[in-house]
Structure 1
Amino acid sequence: MSEGSRRTVTFQAPRTVEVVSDSVPDPGAGEVRVRTLMTAVSPGTERLLYQGDAPSTLQADTEIDSLSGDLEFPLTYGYSAVGRVEKCGTGVAHRWTGQRVFAFQPHTSHFITTPAQLIPLPEEVSVADGAMIPNVETAVNLVMDGRPMMGERVAVFGQGVVGLLTTALLSRHPVACYTIEPLSARRRLSAEWGADRSFDPAEDWDLLLDVLNVSASASQIENNDFEGADLVYELTGTPSVLDDAISVTGFDGRVVIGSWYGKKDASLQLGGRFHRSRIQLKSSQVSTVDPNYQGRWTKSRRMSVVLNVLASLQPGDLVTESRPVEEAPSIYRRLDMKEQKILQPVFRYK
């Protein structure tokens, strides 16, 4: 072990987070040590972890080596780190030293990995933009899974970070994109990031139904004369909203579920129009590529799309809280309280 102190965010128990210190490790043969500059918090997922609402027996992520364990406490988590390679083990090319990189790693000030697990970041890419790579990848995956077609009506429930980025990517397609979000500040952001119109679900529901040409008369239900949205995304993390998403979806429409509900149940009303609607419900999670695409698409190809849109998308603009990692417990408490002004927190490391 080398001299120095490594700081790691650790979920010790429900609603108990500590920043734990230990020695900074040295890289072995074929490995590098990265000194972290910034890690991004996944607000929805990490709120679930903090609250103890994530299934403890579920593997954190089978596709990410650094998250190979389950979600039993105590655990470390996080999958978005930007840093610089500060030391190379034997057998690693010296050109890696000093290289700014992205890696799927938990919230920690130093980590050991191999060059194959790193994505070099050009200096013109800001640290904040680099830290948002997983959120952009998730949005790219959601759009791919939804398969938007020219002229379709698309509704996106939830304008958190992933919802906003999904809206921004959908706005690059020739579709009508409508968003549904209860927080006024996020509705304003939604318009800035490409929504044709953003609705308050409490105040504007009837207006949304009119815009989507949704009708629920008995004769129209019987004849499937119900336009509605062609494609709907449920990205709120709130199980009850899935029923609302289904209710505005038209005949043979698609509902893409990007939320992770953890242990929370989703109660759905499927005995009425849904029974004859041929609506498709699809789970979407970024760890894998849709099997229908796997003949031509790999995770590496999808990541190349992410890196290509970073400069024009500038997702780092969505960061609202940039705090020293020592303040992690406070950030999770504020997420738990659903403090409205927290959209995207990141941790900084000295």
Structure 2
Amino acid sequence: MSARTLYFTGAESVRVDEEAVPDPGPSQVRVRTELSGISPGTELLVYRGEVDSELATDETIDALDGTFSYPLQYGYAAVGRVTAIGAEVDDNWLDRRVFAFNPHESHFLAEPSSLIPTTLPPEQAVFMPNVEAAVNFVMDARPRIGARVVVFGQGPVGLLTTGLLADFPLASLVTVDPCASRRRLSEALGADRSVTPGNLGDVDADITFELSGNPPALDRAIDATGYAGQVIVGSWYGSKGVSLDLGHHFHRSHIRVRSSQVSRIDPDHADRWDKDRRLDVVRSWLSDTDLSALLTHEIDIERAGEAYQLLANRPDDAVQVVLTYN
């Protein structure tokens, strides 16, 4: 049996290599991947070559310890079972289902401390990092009772943010996306209405979230925000330029534009929150929320190139795409 590993080899180019199945060291376990989720935000930037090649992939994740220079492994949503353990590892780890922030590959080694045991089905557990990001966005926004909220972008993380916000007693929750299928999913998750970018109208929002990954949407989000409101920017634009109109409307508006990213807890929350507590919220919400409608495609890793082409060229046909390892 060989292991299969996905590499990004250049702009719009991936390959899958067969490699030896690794043996765990004394303090490690080996995981056999069941599913791994593709991020249509960050991973499409990598796939298209729209990331600075000298930038560190993620300093907070041990499995992503290099830079974005090709060739590279990437991905951070793997669900699998522990199939072998090192001599120093407790026997209870054997055959556990775990989640890992790990690139796309059929087998990998990890320290048990880096894994998250889960009893969720793999099709549900694979959403863990995007739900964690969505929880982080909502925490940073601090929506109040009766708030008017607009979410730009209804990809996986935008839809999950919408689902979380729908649990709040808001005055209105409006979402914006060009894809009709995503707008329908958005309303099913609790949006009061979901519109195309040109049909938002005057909403005077208290909070807007920019989660589309589309640079012009940030200007639209600022424009949709009312006096002294705030814009939460969860998008990563990579090397794409962002042009903003900060004329008289913004100058006198007291609008606050705030970045939000999941790798670290905002210092404003650090007195009461840490990553473990945030993860408890994620697991609780996932156990109560059916996300099967968001998982639109399961594609074997051998056809990974097709998966990225699908997300890049036909966004109206796909939401969450996962790689399988049969």
Q: Which TM-score bucket, shorter chain as reference?
A: over 0.9
Find 2:145's aligned residue among 139, 147, 150.
Answer: 150
> C-alpha distance in 1, partners of 2:303/2:174?
36
Q: State whether residues 82 and 97 of structure 2, in contact with CA within 8 Å, keep that contact through their aligned partners in structure 1.
A: yes
1:192 aligns with 2:188: yes
SS in 1 for 2:9: strand
Find 1:238's aligned residue among 207, 211, 214.
Answer: 214
SS in 2 for 1:177: strand
1:55 aligns with 2:73: no
Which residue of structure 2 aligns with residue 87 of structure 1? 84
> C-alpha distance in 2, partners of 1:314/1:105?
24
Tell me which amino acid in the other structure corresponds to 1:343.
Answer: V
- TM-score, length-normalised on structure 2? 0.98
Find 2:229's aligned residue among 231, 253, 275.
Answer: 253
SS in 1 for 2:75: coil
Which residue of structure 2 aligns with residue 287 of structure 1? 263
Which residue of structure 2 aligns with residue 116 of structure 1? 113
Find 2:290's aligned residue among 308, 314, 320.
Answer: 314
Which residue of structure 2 aligns with residue 34 of structure 1? 31
Which residue of structure 2 aligns with residue 16 of structure 1? 13
Q: State whether residues 173 and 193 of structure 2, in contact with CA within 8 Å, keep that contact through their aligned partners in structure 1.
A: yes
1:297 aligns with 2:293: no
**CA deviation map 1:43-74 (0-9, x unaligned):** 11111101100111111111110011111111
SS in 2 for 1:66: coil
> C-alpha distance in 1, partners of 2:219/2:96?
47
SS in 2 for 1:50: helix
- TM-score, length-normalised on structure 1? 0.91
Which residue of structure 1 aligns with residue 2 of structure 2? 5
Tell me which amino acid in the other structure corresponds to 2:197.
Answer: P
Which residue of structure 2 aligns with residue 180 of structure 1? 176
Structure 1 stretches lacking a partner, 5+ long: 213-227
**CA deviation map 1:168-212 (0-9, x unaligned):** 10010111211111111111111100101111223x23xx31xx2
Counterparts of residues 157-176 of structure 1 (less than 5 Å): 157-175=152-170, 176=172
Deviation at 1:300, TM superposition (A): 1.1
Deviation at 1:246, TM superposition (A): 0.3
> C-alpha distance in 2, partners of 1:179/1:326?
35
Find 1:75's aligned residue among 63, 69, 72.
Answer: 72
> C-alpha distance in 1, partners of 2:321/2:133?
17
Structure 2 stretches lacking a partner, 5+ long: none
Find 1:132's aligned residue among 127, 130, 135.
Answer: 127
Sequence identity percentage: 47
> C-alpha distance in 1, partners of 2:315/2:233?
24
1:43 aligns with 2:40: yes
Q: State whether residues 182 and 316 of structure 2, in contact with CA within 8 Å, keep that contact through their aligned partners in structure 1.
A: no
Find 2:238's aligned residue among 262, 274, 281.
Answer: 262
Q: State whether residues 136 and 315 of structure 1, in contact with CA within 8 Å, keep that contact through their aligned partners in structure 2.
A: no
Q: Which runs of 4+ in 1 moved over 4 A?
A: none
Q: State whether residues 132 and 316 of structure 1, in contact with CA within 8 Å, keep that contact through their aligned partners in structure 2.
A: no
> C-alpha distance in 2, partners of 1:67/1:257?
23
**CA deviation map 1:246-305 (0-9, x unaligned):** 001011101001111000111000022100111111111111111100111111111111
Aligned pair count reads 325
SS in 1 for 2:92: helix
Tell me which amino acid in the other structure corresponds to 2:167.
Answer: R
Pairwise CA RMSD: 1.0
